[in-house]
Structure formats: C-alpha cells, structure tokens
Amino acid sequence: MAGKLQDRVALVSGSGRGIGRAIALKLASEGARVVVNDLDEAPAKETAEAIRAAGGKAEVCAGSVTEAGFAERFVQTGMDAFGGLDIIVNNAGYTWDSVIQKMTDEQWYAIIDVHLTAPFRILRAAQPIISALAKEEAADGREVFRKVVNISSIAGTGGNAGQINYSAGKAGILGVTRTMAKEWGRYKVNVNAVAFGPIRTRLTEGSAKGNSTIKIEDREIKVGVSPALLTQMEQMIPLGRVGTPEEAAGAVYLFCAPESNFISGQYVICGGGFNM
C-alpha cells in the first residue's frame, strides 16, 4: 500500500543527524522522495543510503544552509533529481549560548543566520517553482497542497536564559510561518511550525563533565546538557521524560500529511506537555 506522501518531493535541511535524520526517514517511509542536507557530506550520505536501503529514494545536497547560493542549489537539487517540490522542512540549526553581556556579534549573527535567514532564503528560492506549479494545477482544475514546516523551539515561544540569539531566531521563525501562510495560501501551501521541547540529541546529550563540543565550519561550539540538568528537566515534563528524535519527526509529519490540508499559520509544541 502506498504511503500518504507517495512520490512527494521533500527538502529537509540538517537531515544527516538527529531530529533531521529522523524526519527524513519518516517522510521517506511514507513514500516521499527526499533531498537530504547536512553541513558534512558523510552523514548526509548515510541518511540517504538508509532511505535507499529501505526501498525509498533520496538525493544528497551537502553544505551549509548559510552559504551564499545554497538555497538555490538545494531547491534545484530536488527539481533535477525528482522533478518537483512538495515539502520543505527548515530544520538545520545549532545553539551557541551566552548571557547577553558575554555574547559576541559573531554568536548573535551566526545563530540568527542559520535559524532565520537560511529558511527565508530557501523559501524565497522555492517561490518561483511553487508559483509555476500551482498555476499549472489551477489551470487543470486540480487542487494540490504543498507543505512547509519550520522548526522552532520552546525557547522561541517562551524564551530561555542564556539563549537570546537562539530564542530570537526561533521566535522569528514563527513570524515567518504566519506571514508565509498568508502569502502562499493562494498557492495551496500549508505553512506551519513545530516548536520542540527537550529532545534527546547530540545538542542536549552532554557528557558527565558538560564539555561536549561540535564542529561548525571552523568553530568548536560547546553543546550538551549536564546529566543533573537533564534529570531536573525530565521531572518538569508531564510525560516524565525527554522526547526521542522519532517522536519529534512524528510531530513534523503531522503537518506534512494530507489530514493537515486545512491547517496553516499554526505551531504545535512537541514537548511532552512541557512549555517554558
């Protein structure tokens, strides 16, 4: 039996690891053909191979979402490989935390660029294609819905100390979501967002010493949450634990499925009942 997203073309940024990988695998399991992106080519290829091994179709578009020209390349990869564009998931991102008096301009702009400017550019690059496809479908008397899912956070809905850059970016993407729902409604595009609460990924799974880092281009960024803080967070979550990447992907899928065709300009918190 065909999946609910059979032959739909999905672009998923930051899908080589963690939540993004889980999103790509989930959409592919429902029949979508997925363009996989990651900053590093190796994890992107691994995700694409996992999709193919399960009988799906995938193409790789590696590189930083903040690079000049990336958005156009990302969109064109979907067109060249699969001849269409139906779903965009703006997921790529990371954190680079400091309290305001210690935060540099570099930190501020790096996080705003990846969480806000990059999705803006991807959507802008997609507009001519989506417009043309929608006009063709309308002329044929067909109503075809497309989906945009932007990834936010409870840091964006409620703020979080030490994350003014991340909170601002994740709040901003909700404004992008509401605006694009109004601009693209005429194209039959549903634009929604998922705001994640605590999800167990490499960005939250800190070492016992709290000194885990990730490499973003030429920067070593400290990430992770101490085990003690994770335990404290879990005690505040009504469901009693942090979420998994697969559960996070499920929330994104809700906005990609045809059952959401009359939902647009909204966001849902995927946080086990926890909301800062």
> Would you state the structure tokens that stand for residue 264, as one six-digit string?
């647009």
What whole-number distance in Å separates Cα of residue 27 and Cα of residue 24? 5
* Residue among 204, 203, 199 nearest 214 (CA): 203
Query: Please, how many CA atoms are within 13 Å of residue 259, restricted to the half-sphere of its CB?
Result: 6
Q: Positive or negative CA dihedral for 160, 162, 166, 171?
A: positive
Q: Catalytic site residue 166?
A: yes
Contact indicator for 24, 51 with CB cutoff of 8 Å:
yes
For 97, other C-beta atoms within 10 Å of its C-beta total 18
> Would you state the structure tokens that stand for residue 141, as one six-digit string?
């008397």
Query: Please, how many CA atoms are within 13 Å of residue 58, restricted to the half-sphere of its CB?
Result: 29
Q: What is the DSSP letter of 208?
A: T
| Catalytic member of 94, 166, 187, 253 | 166
What whole-number distance in Å separates Cα of residue 34 and Cα of residue 13? 10
Question: What DSSP letter does each residue of 182-201 carry, written as one string?
Answer: HHSGGGTEEEEEEEE-SB-S
> Would you state the structure tokens that stand for residue 42, as one six-digit string?
């190796």
**How would you class 40 by CB atoms within 10 Å of its CB: exposed for 0-12, middle for 13-18, buried for 19 or more?**
middle
**Which residues are known to be catalytic?**
166
